[in-house]
């Protein structure tokens, strides 16, 4: 992997901006501030008080219109409600400005195809913000994972109104869909899904069972109305078992081995998990791609795959609702 600092030194200072100064946008600013070779030029938010406060804290300029950043920045993080992803990312990419776009990539596949096409036409970097790809436990898992047979995930969170512009599939479950797609590497055969609304007008709890053409089965649960957090994935293979706790950044890996030529036993793999800040690593990787022009780990096309599967799940949930309503009407 190229050295980020030296790459930046060779190409000069990278000017960055952040659009959307909410919970996550502020974290992006903190990470950019840490990176050598980065200079935060400006911030933009529809709530002027937010952008002015952030500009004061990070020593940059506040813009009421994100388009005022054109010509002033080389790269930008976009952390706005999903409904605005397409418009804002499209405008920056058209200017040849590299984009780190929070997940999900867009609301629709047509919107995703549009910005992917523009990024490729302009030779611009388009990275999608799937921060769990940079979780140290997942980074370690990728080095040992084989052919999954069964995967089980739980991503359970307390309720926060800031995520309810989309349902729980696009809000939370999509993180696990991204990890599963990257791990299984097989087309989807069947999907069975159920979801219910609890505290918002969208689906807040969902369970999905996906069968892949490889034979692997994934059982995925996501909720944003639980009292305690749980963020775990368990992967079963013929030769072993892996369990990741995303929040604790822990990996437990067990493997089958032969004793005395015939007897079998289970032992724990000794896997080094190199601790880091996943969001900082995500932002660092983005800046590395900006500096070296190498494709990002989670490209626009990777983001589209997860969106496509998420939308298929949403469709299945809606079909089940219609069937239930018709049966009880």
Task: Dump pLDDT digits (tens) for 19-69.
Answer: 999 999 999 999 999 999 999 999 999 999 999 999 999 999 999 999 999
Mean pLDDT of all residues in 111-138: 98
Distance of CA 68 to the CA centre of its chain: 27
Question: Comparing C-alpha atoms, which of 113, 95, 112 is closest to residue 103?
Answer: 112
pLDDT at 321: 72
What residues contact 259, with CB distance under 8 A and at least 6 apart? 265
pLDDT at 266: 80
pLDDT tens profile 287-309: 999 999 999 999 999 999 999 99
Is residue 228's pLDDT more than 70?
yes
pLDDT at 26: 97
Q: How confident is the model at residue 164 (pLDDT cuts 50, 70, 90)?
A: confident
pLDDT at 256: 80
Q: Which domains does the chain have, with CATH numbers?
A: 4-130+279-298 (3.40.50.720), 133-276+310-322 (3.30.360.10)
β pairing state of 150-156 and 217-223: parallel
pLDDT at 328: 64
Question: Comparing C-alpha atoms, which of 168, 164, 163 is closest to residue 193?
Answer: 168
Percent of the chain with pLDDT over 90: 84
Q: How confident is the model at residue 320 (pLDDT cuts 50, 70, 90)?
A: confident
pLDDT tens profile 94-116: 999 999 999 999 999 999 999 99
Tell me 299's DSSP state: B
Q: How confident is the model at residue 8 (pLDDT cuts 50, 70, 90)?
A: very low
Q: How confident is the model at residue 262 (pLDDT cuts 50, 70, 90)?
A: low
Mean pLDDT of all residues in 218-226: 96
Distance of CA 14 to the CA centre of its chain: 23
pLDDT at 131: 98
Q: pLDDT averaged over the chain?
A: 92
Backbone angles phi, psi at 105, to 5 degrees: -55, -45
Is residue 2's pLDDT more than 70?
no
pLDDT at 7: 42
Name 49's bridge partners. Answer: none
Q: How confident is the model at residue 261 (pLDDT cuts 50, 70, 90)?
A: low
* Integer Cα distance of 232 and 226 in angstroms: 15
Question: Comparing C-alpha atoms, which of 306, 296, 267 is closest to residue 183?
Answer: 306
Distance of CA 38 to the CA centre of its chain: 23
Q: Which of 91-100, 164-173, 215-224 has the lowest mean pLDDT?
A: 164-173
Q: How confident is the model at residue 12 (pLDDT cuts 50, 70, 90)?
A: confident
The residue among 26 and 262 whose pLDDT is bigger is: 26
Name 126's bridge partners. Answer: 99
Q: pTM of the prediction?
A: 0.92
């Amino acid at each position: 992997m190229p050295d980020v600092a030296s790459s930046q030194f060779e190409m000069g200072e990278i000017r960055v901006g952040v659009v959307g100064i909410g919970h996550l946008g502020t974290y992006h600013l903190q990470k950019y501030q840490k990176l050598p070779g980065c200079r935060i030029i400006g911030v933009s938010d529809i709530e002027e008080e937010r952008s002015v406060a952030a500009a004061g804290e990070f020593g940059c300029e506040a813009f009421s219109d994100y388009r005022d950043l054109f010509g002033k920045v080389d790269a930008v993080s976009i952390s706005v409600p999903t409904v605005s992803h397409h418009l804002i990312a499209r405008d920056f990419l058209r200017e040849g400005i590299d984009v780190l776009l929070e997940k999900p990539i867009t609301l629709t596949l047509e919107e995703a195809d549009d910005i992917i096409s523009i990024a490729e036409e302009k030779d611009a970097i388009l990275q999608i913000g799937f921060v769990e790809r940079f979780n140290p436990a997942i980074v370690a898992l990728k080095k040992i994972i084989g052919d999954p047979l069964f995967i089980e995930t739980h991503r359970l969170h307390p309720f926060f109104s800031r995520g309810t512009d989309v349902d729980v599939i696009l809000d939370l479950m999509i993180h696990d869909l991204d990890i599963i797609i990257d791990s299984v590497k097989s087309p989807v055969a069947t999907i069975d899904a159920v979801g219910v609304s609890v505290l918002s007008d969208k689906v807040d709890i969902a369970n999905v069972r996906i069968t892949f053409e490889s034979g692997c089965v994934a059982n995925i649960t996501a909720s944003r109305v639980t009292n305690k957090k749980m963020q775990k994935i368990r992967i079963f293979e013929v030769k072993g078992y892996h369990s990741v706790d995303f929040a604790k950044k822990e990996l437990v890996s067990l493997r089958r081995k032969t004793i005395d030529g015939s007897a079998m036993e289970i032992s724990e793999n000794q896997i080094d998990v190199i601790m880091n800040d996943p969001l900082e690593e995500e932002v660092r990787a983005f800046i590395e791609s900006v500096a070296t022009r190498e494709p990002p780990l989670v490209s626009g096309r990777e983001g589209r795959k997860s969106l496509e599967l998420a939308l298929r799940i949403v469709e299945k949930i809606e079909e089940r609702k219609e069937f239930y309503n018709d049966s009880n009407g």
